[in-house]
Amino acid sequence: MAIREILKYPHPVLRETAEPVTVFDDELKTLVADMAETMYEAPGVGLAANQIGVARQVVVIDITPKEEPKELIVLINPRITKGEGSEIDEEGCLSVVDLCANVTRYAKIWVEAQDATGAPLAFEAEGYYARVIQHEVDHLHGHLFLDWISSLKRSLYKKKRKKQLQAEQKKADAAA
Ligand SMILES: [Zn+2]
């Protein structure tokens, strides 16, 4: 096992689409073990393979509080097949330093994946766990949480600008 370097934005591998894993061998086991060690050391609650420069569909997650025993979740080739509801909460990312911001996510998701041996997994996740999975799956598609923030900021600005223009129009109408 080894601690790998966590790549930071704007490293191009963070924008790559990760390749599906087709071979469940010792090399994959080593990758998963390294990712887990790197995540715990950071410390973080999730890590996608892109973040250590490996564009393959591998994610590790552990959202258990520090004082409780570790509970590592390994998701290979994870897919969110369905999402329901929405929740806004603050997110950060080991690859995006010094930024925490609100992101809207599904409140509940249905996930299909494989474990480190290739066995199929299918489960539902809610709340914080669902948020972390969505964040990590985003990484595998080359997305970062700041993508969703900038679009939020953009739409907020558009709204603000629209109101401003409307107010100016009203003023002009009143003066006419
Ligand atoms: Zn992240």
Structural domain including 40 reads 12-175
| 55 in any annotated domain | yes
pTM (two decimals): 0.84
The number of domains in the chain is 1
Q: Which residues pair with 59 in a beta bridge?
A: 48, 75
Instruction: State the distance from the centre of ligand 1 to the C-alpha of 77, rounded, in angstroms.
Output: 17
What single DSSP character describes residue 72? Answer: -
Check which CATH number belongs to the domain holding 29 and give it.
Answer: 3.90.45.10
| Residues measured by CB to lie within 5 Å of ligand 1, the ion | 93
Instruction: State the distance from the centre of ligand 1 to the C-alpha of 92, rounded, in angstroms.
Output: 7
- pLDDT by 10s per residue, the chain, length 176: 799 999 987 789 999 999 999 999 999 999 999 999 999 999 999 999 999 999 999 999 999 998 899 999 999 999 999 999 999 999 988 988 777 788 899 999 999 999 999 999 999 999 999 999 999 999 999 998 888 887 776 465 457 757 877 888 898 888 87
Dump the DSSP string for 99-135.
EEEEEEE-SEEEEEEE-TTS-EEEEEEEHHHHHHHHH
Token reading at 104? 């809207």
| 122 in any annotated domain | yes
Give the whole-angstrom CA distance, residue 45 versus residue 27.
23
* Cα 114 from chain centre: 18
| 113 in any annotated domain | yes
Instruction: State the distance from the centre of ligand 1 to the C-alpha of 169, rounded, in angstroms.
Output: 43
| 2 in any annotated domain | no
CA nearest neighbour of 56 among 91, 39, 32, 40: 32
| 47 in any annotated domain | yes
| 4 in any annotated domain | no
> What amino acid positions are annotated as catalytic residues?
136
| 1 in any annotated domain | no
| 7 in any annotated domain | no
Token reading at 133? 């999975």
